[in-house]
Amino acid sequence: MKLLCVDSELVYRDIISLYAEKEGIKVRCESSFDAAVRAFEEFIPDIVMLDVLLEDKDGFELVKVLKQASGSRFIPIICLASDTADAVMDKCFQYGADDFIPKPFSEVLLNIRLKTHMRHIALIKEMYRKNKALTYYQTMIEREHEMAHHVLDHIQTRSEKNSQHVAITRLSAASFNGDLALVKTRSDGARLVFVGDFTGHGLPASIGALPVMQVFFDAVDELVEMGELAERINRILLSILPDYMFCAGYLILMSKDGHLLYWGGGMPNALIRRSDASIDYLQSSHMPLGILPANEFEADLHSHYLNPGDTLIIVSDGVLELKNPQGDMLGDDKVERLITEAYANKDLILAQQKTERVLAEYRGDAAQLDDITLVALRSSFL
């Protein structure tokens, strides 16, 4: 810790040096304005004590000059004055001083003030250090998220484009999307769908997404049976992900005639909006993928059906847990009402856009905390 003492009176320079050096502080003393400015640059003090009455120039002005020279560094300036009128004190603070000690002062008072300021300096130095570390990590994480985003976007391009039969909406939370939505029509005309939600965000989610994508598209080509596909995805995630990571998801095969065969684990109910505005549900009855060892994994499937004009909507929990600016979650009921209303539209893409609009309006300027995925499917059977 270094102290710059600026005083025109030798006796005070000696007193301050003596007291401060007892505290282990290195002291440099000056008596004039110009010498003080030079010393400030060369000596680089952590703290300054100065009398506003100088030999040559105005001490108040010196406070201002030194504060400016400090830039973004925090270097407390303690003003000393024999004139203890309020006006003098006030002027010190107006010019940028951090503290004021009237002369004469006792050793105890000087010690207390010095120690207080030293504590502040230490705190602020620690804060700077931590800030720097945080900025470093933030930049690093942003870069990693960017990369993960890139990887996932690439995967997504292999999925089917939006049409009157398939509409996919993915909205990333502030950082990165841990959701995955894949749709592809097989050679037999059946459509294979995977909607997954990885635990957490960022790089780990995209690491899991890559092999899932590979297994999914292989299954499209090879017409792999659904239970077998669920087992394959589970096995591969179990082997590559750490035990605290998994993937909730629906695997759905929609035949040309509208028959649905599905496996669901850890996902909220999927909704079938019937053409008469009633609602049916697909329920996930299993643990998410990537948790159970192969011998415990349950690959049993459920079935349902889509008639012409019906819409199957799969939402991730990010939709149900979407918060408005008041902090209220959207919840099952509102989502159901929204879906009943929006998907009355015969045009699937317009219905999807309407849903996106209502979700955005609900959120308002509240932060989106989780990823949002919304997949809508209609039967191509006429």
Partner 1 sequence: MSITVTANDSEHYVVISIMGSFDFSLFNDFRAAYSDLPHAYSRYVIDMSMVEYLDSAALGMLLSMRNAIDATLPIELKGANDFIKNILMISRFDKRFDIQ
Stretch that binds partner 1, among 17-25, 167-175, 214-222, 260-268 (CB under 8 A): 260-268
Hey, which residues between 269 and 308 contact partner 1 (CB under 8 A)? 284-288, 291-292
**Distance of alpha carbon 183 from alpha carbon 196, whole angstroms:** 12
Nearer to partner 1, 226 or 287 (CB): 287
Hey, which residues between 60 and 119 contact partner 1 (CB under 8 A)? none
How many residues line the site for partner 1 (CB under 8 A)? 22
Query: Which of 267, 338, 339, 375 touches partner 1 by CB under 8 A?
Result: 267
Hey, which residues between 215 and 254 contact partner 1 (CB under 8 A)? 242-246, 248
Residue 208 CB neighbour total at 10 angstroms: 25
**Distance of alpha carbon 363 from alpha carbon 59, whole angstroms:** 56
Residues 169-208: x where in contact with partner 1 by CB under 8 A, - otherwise, as a string: ----------------------------x-xx--------
Give the nearest distance from C-beta 244 to partner 1 in angstroms: 3
Q: Which of 1, 380, 54, 10 is nearest to 191 (CA)?
A: 380
Give the nearest distance from C-beta 148 to partner 1 in angstroms: 16
Nearer to partner 1, 39 or 248 (CB): 248
Is the separation of the CB atoms in 152 and 161 below 8 Å? no
Stretch that binds partner 1, among 155-163, 181-189, 249-257, 266-274 (CB under 8 A): 266-274
Give the nearest distance from C-beta 360 to partner 1 in angstroms: 22
The binding site for partner 1 (CB under 8 A) comprises 197, 199-200, 242-246, 248, 265-268, 284-288, 291-292, 317, 370
